[in-house]
């Protein structure tokens, strides 16, 4: 069903049989039993305000993938393939648009709204997520979220993409009604985050976004809410003091240094957005919700430009997380748009289909960062650029450093030597390691006195994408090698 006459009733009759009902109940039971991550409790803000954790205290490191059009473009067989792959690669959050356009339909030609202008959902009587002949758009969204749960994945739901709100005259009252519908329908799902906005500045239709956020928080206080802003902007500019915003997010975007015409002109230095958010009160976690995608043109729109590579997405990930982010989101040009053979045209010069791009190198390498961060005490880590002496490098030569009480890490993208100011962590002696972000392997350097200055020279020659992480540990703690997690979710 692809369309309905104007004024068609919001609730449509759906035939149900006892046979179907018999299978729905066991399905819910399986989801409940196998929901491993949230068996640690819901995700909440850490006590220091900078990170995420489960209620039982286990850290939650947001490792996201942008599957923006998952609800709209994949059928159920394809959805299983995608979610299984991302789970195996240890992503734990999939960022999706609930509504990407008006009118909105999914792969099965189910429509989302009866009245697009008022965001009146087209909901059939009953609730069937199994029979393609009987479920509606919202049943399919339910099914995808539940399938994600079976794979241990959270879904970050964007209620409606920013361009839709910008281009259509949608009232604030419609926003409140729609957000109420979403919160009431999905609030009992264990694997939900809310992501207000969607590639839009917060001062465009700001009351609309405030209403969406405020209404979601009112009806669903148990799931965290963030805001996905326009490129080279951050949610804290408009919403930091809004009570509904739990987690800040910025979009460092897809432009090179020389292509960035934004006021701050941070270019590719996504770590600087983290620095900005850390100065704000009240303290809130922050992360890069959309850095440059793997295999997308530099600058986004001109397909004659070079394409961003796995090397670049690694650099964005380590720069922002070492600067203090609560996690990171990866993106792939083909996967984010779910580019498929029957699409009339690829957006942004995508050169492979979504299923071919699942194995692109950047997506494989993201889990190594997650492993590294979880292999040392999590909640006391802080950005500290004073750890590196004479760190005058800029842009690609910048060395980002962080430390906990009894360890420190420093990341060099170009394989530069690292001069470390010792004595900034505990211990009279430290054990030193090189961690390879390209394959997740660690090699021992040796044991050193924790005093003075020591120069560490990476194993390879200095060059772009010869990136390494230096790890120093207090010897008394007997940490395992970097990349062997202490705390798995």
Q: Is residue 4 part of a domain?
A: no
Q: Could you tell me if 184 and 118 lie in one domain?
A: yes
Q: Is residue 359 part of a domain?
A: yes
Count of CB atoms situated within 10 Å of the CB of 394: 9
How many domains is the chain partitioned into structurally? 2
Q: Return the structure tokens found at 122.
A: 């087209």
Distance CA(474)–CA(458), nearest Å, equals 20
Which pLDDT tens digit goes with each residue over 193-234? 999 999 999 999 999 999 999 999 999 999 999 999 999 999
Q: Could you tell me if 100 and 77 lie in one domain?
A: yes
Which pLDDT tens digit goes with each residue over 135-164? 899 999 999 999 999 999 999 999 999 999
Write down which residue in 374, 399, 430 finishes a domain: 374
Distance CA(352)–CA(339), nearest Å, equals 8
Give 130 or 74, the one with higher predicted confidence.
74
In contact, 49 and 282? CB cutoff 8 Å:
yes
Instruction: With a cut of 50, say whether residue 453 has pLDDT above it.
Output: yes
Which pLDDT tens digit goes with each residue over 401-446? 999 999 999 999 999 999 999 999 999 999 999 999 999 999 999 9
Instruction: With a cut of 70, say whether residue 315 has pLDDT above it.
Output: yes
What CATH number is given to the structural domain containing 419?
2.60.40
Domain range for 32 is 11-374
Q: Is residue 151 part of a domain?
A: yes
- Average pLDDT in the chain: 91
Q: Could you tell me if 137 and 172 lie in one domain?
A: yes
Distance CA(383)–CA(266), nearest Å, equals 18
Please report, to the nearest 10 degrees, the dihedral formed by the alpha carbons of residues 465, 440, 328, 387 taken in order: -70
Using 50, 70 and 90 to split pLDDT, how confident is the model at 25?
Answer: very low
Q: Could you tell me if 365 and 396 lie in one domain?
A: no
What pTM value is reported for the model? 0.91
What CATH number is given to the structural domain containing 112?
3.20.20.80
Write down which residue in 353, 374, 395 finishes a domain: 374
Write down which residue in 374, 406, 421 finishes a domain: 374
Q: Could you tell me if 190 and 78 lie in one domain?
A: yes
């Amino acid at each position: 069903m692809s369309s309905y006459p104007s004024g068609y009733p919001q609730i449509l009759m759906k035939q149900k049989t006892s046979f179907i009902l018999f299978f729905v109940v066991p399905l819910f039971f399986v989801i409940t039993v196998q929901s491993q991550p949230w068996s640690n409790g819901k995700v909440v803000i850490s006590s220091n305000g900078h990170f995420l954790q489960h209620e039982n205290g286990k850290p939650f490191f947001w490792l996201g993938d942008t599957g923006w059009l998952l609800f709209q473009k994949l059928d159920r067989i394809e959805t299983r393939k995608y979610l299984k792959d991302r789970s195996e690669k240890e992503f734990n959050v999939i960022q999706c648009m609930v509504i990407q356009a008006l009118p909105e339909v999914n792969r099965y030609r189910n429509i989302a709204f009866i009245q697009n202008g008022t965001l009146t959902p087209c909901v059939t009587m009953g609730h069937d997520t199994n029979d393609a002949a009987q479920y509606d758009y919202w049943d399919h969204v339910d099914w995808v979220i539940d399938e994600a749960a079976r794979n241990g994945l959270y879904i970050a739901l964007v209620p409606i993409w920013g361009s839709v709100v910008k281009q259509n005259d949608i009232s604030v009252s419609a926003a409140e009604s729609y957000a109420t519908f979403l919160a009431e329908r999905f609030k009992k799902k264990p694997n939900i985050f809310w992501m207000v906005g969607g590639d839009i500045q917060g001062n465009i239709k700001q009351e609309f976004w405030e209403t969406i956020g405020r209404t979601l928080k009112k009806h669903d206080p148990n799931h965290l809410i963030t805001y996905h802003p326009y490129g080279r902007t951050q949610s804290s500019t408009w919403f930091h003091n809004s009570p509904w915003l739990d987690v800040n997010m910025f979009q460092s975007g897809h432009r090179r240094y020389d292509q960035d015409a934004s006021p701050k002109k941070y270019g590719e230095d996504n770590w600087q957005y983290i620095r900005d958010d850390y100065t704000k009160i009240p303290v809130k976690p922050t992360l890069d919700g959309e850095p440059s995608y793997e295999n997308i043109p530099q600058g986004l729109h001109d397909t004659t430009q070079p394409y961003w590579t796995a090397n670049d997405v690694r650099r964005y990930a380590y720069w922002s997380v070492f600067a203090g982010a609560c996690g990171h989101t990866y993106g792939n040009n083909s996967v984010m748009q779910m580019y498929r053979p029957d699409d009339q045209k690829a957006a942004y010069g995508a050169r492979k289909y979504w299923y071919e791009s699942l194995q692109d190198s950047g997506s494989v390498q993201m889990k190594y960062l997650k492993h590294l961060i979880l292999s040392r005490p999590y909640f006391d880590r802080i950005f500290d650029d004073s750890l590196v002496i004479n760190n005058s490098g800029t842009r690609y030569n910048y060395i980002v450093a962080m430390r906990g009480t009894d360890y420190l890490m420093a990341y060099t993208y170009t394989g530069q030597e690292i001069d470390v100011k010792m004595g900034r962590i505990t211990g009279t002696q430290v054990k030193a390691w090189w961690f390879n972000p390209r394959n997740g392997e660690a090699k021992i350097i040796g044991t050193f006195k924790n005093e003075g200055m020591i120069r560490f020279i990476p194993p390879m020659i200095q060059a772009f994408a010869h990136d390494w992480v230096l790890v120093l540990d207090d010897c008394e703690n007997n940490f395992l090698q970097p990349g062997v997690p202490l705390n798995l979710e």
